[in-house]
Amino acid sequence: MSHIRGGARCPPAECLRSTCCSPRSDRAMAATAGTEGQGGADSGEAPAYKGSCFCGKVKIDIKGPVASSYACHCTVCQRLHGAPFSIHVNFARGSIVPTPESQVFLAGFDSSEKVVRYHCKVCASRVYNDIAVEGFEFVDAPVTIFERGSDGRVLAWDAVKPKCHIFYSTRVEDASDKLPKFDALMPGCEAYDPGKLHQPST
């Protein structure tokens, strides 16, 4: 697994926090180490979900319940995923565990000060993100990498489907569903995006 430290400044609209553009030091890649009491790598708990990149070189086991799920319209996700939005599923840190044989194919980079995004070195698929903001620490994975059934649909869809839209103020196009839509993050995430009002967009 390799890790590239970020140093380039990003446009204000892409900042998840006011300090996200400042240079940072190396931090431990704790997302793969397992967190005590959270269904980590050594817990012996059977994975609740499985996922893989496009080429299959990187496979992940996910242990523990879904914390939240949403469609993200932030400009970082739009550019990295090449799509108007991406659907992410959140879990407690330590819940996403790459399989041992996947480690050599996994790479990560700092998209902002507290966010490391991991991808496959071979096919470049986005695999998961590690968020290390105090009070809002989690790992998430795009729903598109989750295991699918013989019909091509994501397994356990009802558990992982999005419950709201976030960063809707920077959407590329309007969403016609009835899910709640927030200009920034959903309520309760003030520690991750301080100073912003989390009011639904009209």
Closest CA to 57 of 103, 116, 118: 103
Residue 47: what pLDDT?
Answer: 79
pLDDT in tens, 33-81: 333 333 344 456 677 999 999 999 999 999 989 999 999 999 999 999 9
Residue type, 109: F
Predicted local distance difference test score (pLDDT) of residue 15 = 35
Please give the average per-residue pLDDT across 10-36, as a whole number: 34
**CA angle at residue 177 from 175 to 182, to 5 degrees?**
65
d(CA 53, CA 20): 27
Other CB atoms within 10 Å distance of the CB of residue 4: 10
Least confident range from 21-25, 45-49, 189-193: namely: 21-25
77-125 pLDDT, tens digit per residue, is 999 999 999 999 999 999 999 999 999 999 999 988 888 999 999 999 9
Torsion of CA 176, 183, 181, 137, to 10 degrees: 130
How do residues 117-168 score in pLDDT, each as one tens digit? 999 999 999 999 998 877 778 999 999 999 999 999 999 999 999 999 999 9
The pLDDT assigned to 111 comes to: 87
CA distance linking residue 33 with residue 85, whole number of Å = 29
DSSP bridge partners of 131: 115, 138
- Domain boundaries in the chain? 2-15+29-170
Is pLDDT at 9 greater than 60 in this prediction? Answer: no
Which tokens is 131 given?
């968020």
Query: Does the 2-15+29-170 domain belong in CATH 3.40.50.970?
Result: no
Please, which contacts does 40-49 make with residues 24 or more away whose CB atoms are closer than 8 Å? 40/94, 40/95, 40/97, 41/94, 41/97, 47/97, 49/146, 49/147, 49/155, 49/156, 49/160
Judge whether residue 186 has pLDDT over 60: yes
Q: Is 177 exposed, middle or buried (0-12, 13-18, 19+ CB in 10 A)?
A: exposed
Q: How much of the chain is helix, strand and coil, in % rounded to 5?
A: 15, 30, 55
Q: What is the pLDDT of residue 201?
A: 44
For residue 38, what pLDDT is reported? 37
CA distance 150 to 74: 32
Compare 110 and 3 and report the one with higher pLDDT: 110
Task: Tell me what pLDDT residue 184 has.
Answer: 83
**Residue 195 CB coordination number (10 Å):** 8
Residue 149 and residue 157 in contact, taking contact as beta carbons nearer than 8 Å: no
